[in-house]
Amino acid sequence: LYLPKNGIRLRIPFSSFSSSSSLPVDRVHHHKRRQSVLVSALELGGLKISKEEIVRDDPTNNIPDTIFAKLGMQLHRRNQHPLGILKNAIYDYFDTNYPDKFDKFDDLCPIVSVRQNFDEVLVPADHVSRSYNDTYYVDSQTVLRCHTSAHQAELLRNGYTHFLDTGDVYRRDSIDSTHYPVFHQMEGVGVFAPNDWEASGTDATSHAAEALKKCLEGLAQHLFGSMDGSFGLWSDRTRNIEKKW
């Protein structure tokens, strides 16, 4: 399937199962209990996708009906939903402080390839997140995205250097007070050119770190109101907290 959205041509591979697959098929529950749900088809990226394409009697498929039913909800695109309100508040911040700089995506299809979801964001081949216990597989080469980072490489290849990507993401978590198999993320990416850090008189890493700090502190203030400077995210009050970039 090809989804031509926002100038991007995304390929969603629905590959057939091969016995030579390197994925641990033995960890899949072959006899999955399918719960009855009303949804039989949904629209993603302008294309209609049937339940039979996503929920299959296939040894490499571990997606139940209940997860398929969540795929088309797109709560983050509903302006009056708390997620939509938060997304638009973040958009307002970037539009005000970085006018006409960040492209915005909130309708990229959550069905992605294993390469997009893992390989292109440098997840090791033996990482536990690739297992059938942690990720929803449509087939051996296609998954429900575990993070919006699955679209980073595709967007960069298509020439986008500054963008926000919001979407629903899926992980096979057991439901408890702090876990749910469906949640939402917003990805923010900015690419700096040599003239950016040369003009500031710093090296590339220092320039990027300072720009990120300024962006996130400003966003926190935009969302939660003014803060006493002594309690800033990177103030001396937090000097004992390790910071990683």
Half-sphere exposure of 119 (CA within 13 A, CB side): 9
Q: Mind listing the pLDDT tens digit of every residue in the chain (245 residues)?
A: 334 344 444 444 433 333 333 344 333 443 344 343 445 667 776 678 888 889 988 899 999 999 999 998 999 999 999 999 999 999 999 999 999 999 999 999 999 999 999 999 999 999 999 999 999 999 999 999 999 999 999 999 999 999 999 999 999 998 999 999 999 999 999 999 999 999 888 999 999 999 999 999 899 889 887 655 444 444 444 444 444 44
What ranges do the domains of the chain cover?
2-191
- Give pTM, 2 decimals: 0.75
- 3-state SS of the chain: helix, strand, coil percent to 5? 35, 20, 45
CA distance 244 to 156: 23
CA distance 144 to 72: 12
CA distance from start to end of the chain: 36
- The pair of structure tokens assigned to 164 is 């926000």
- The pair of structure tokens assigned to 14 is 């629905």
Q: Which CATH number fits domain 2-191: 3.40.50.300, 3.40.190.10, 3.30.930.10, 3.30.70.100?
A: 3.30.930.10
